[in-house]
Structures are given as structure tokens and as C-alpha cells.
């Protein structure tokens, strides 16, 4: 996962997407935590596993750590991926 500062509190987020069953399929959603708190980043719909996901997003001042997990249709969460906010 890569988070690049664009300036003015805007960032570019990209990662190779997990599937909803390991590397296969498309997750139902991405779950995001910022500084340990659940947040809705409004980053758009998930993409099929193994493809590149990218989005631009805004983060509030003081943001330090972003975690994202894939969630399948049954509500199961995948392993979290984390990145420090630059």
C-alpha cells in the first residue's frame, strides 16, 4: 500500500487489491481505520483481487496511520494493510 501526499490535505492511495476469498474475487467493501478509529474515506467501490486500486482522498490534519481491510459479503475481514501518513 502506498500513500502519497498531494498537498492541502489530499493524498493518492494505491495498493494491489485482495480478493474476497484470498486473492480471488472482489471484496464487498473496504474498511478503513485512521489513527485507530473506523472512518469512511469515500474511496469508491472495491476492485477485483490482484488488480491495482487507486483513489484520491482527503485526510484531516494530525492523521498518522491508515489501515485498510477487505470485507467479504459475509462480513469477514481480511488482514489489515497499514501505512504511515506522510
User: What is the domain partition of the chain in residue ranges?
Assistant: 2-84
CA distance 54 to 52: 6
- Going by C-alpha positions, the residue among 62, 61, 85, 73 that lies closest to residue 1 is 85
Distances (CA, A) of 71 to 10, 11, 60, 63: 25, 23, 24, 23
State mean pLDDT over 35-54.
96
Residue 77 CA to residue 75 CA, distance in Å, equals: 6
- Taking only the tens place, the pLDDT of each residue in 74-85 is 999 999 999 999
Note the pLDDT of residue 21. Answer: 83
Domain at 2-84: CATH architecture: Sandwich (2.60)
| Verdict on whether the full-model pTM lies above 0.85 | yes
Is the pLDDT reported for residue 22 higher than 90? no
Amino acid at each position: 500500500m502506498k500513500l502519497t501526499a498531494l498537498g492541502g490535505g489530499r493524498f493518492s492511495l494505491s495498493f494491489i487489491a485482495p480478493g474476497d476469498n484470498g486473492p480471488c474475487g472482489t471484496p464487498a467493501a473496504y474498511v478503513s481505520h485512521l489513527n485507530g478509529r473506523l472512518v469512511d474515506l469515500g474511496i469508491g467501490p472495491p476492485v477485483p483481487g490482484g488488480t491495482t486500486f487507486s483513489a484520491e482522498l482527503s485526510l484531516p490534519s494530525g492523521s498518522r496511520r491508515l489501515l485498510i481491510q477487505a470485507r467479504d459479503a459475509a462480513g469477514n475481514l481480511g488482514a489489515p494493510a497499514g501505512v504511515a501518513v506522510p
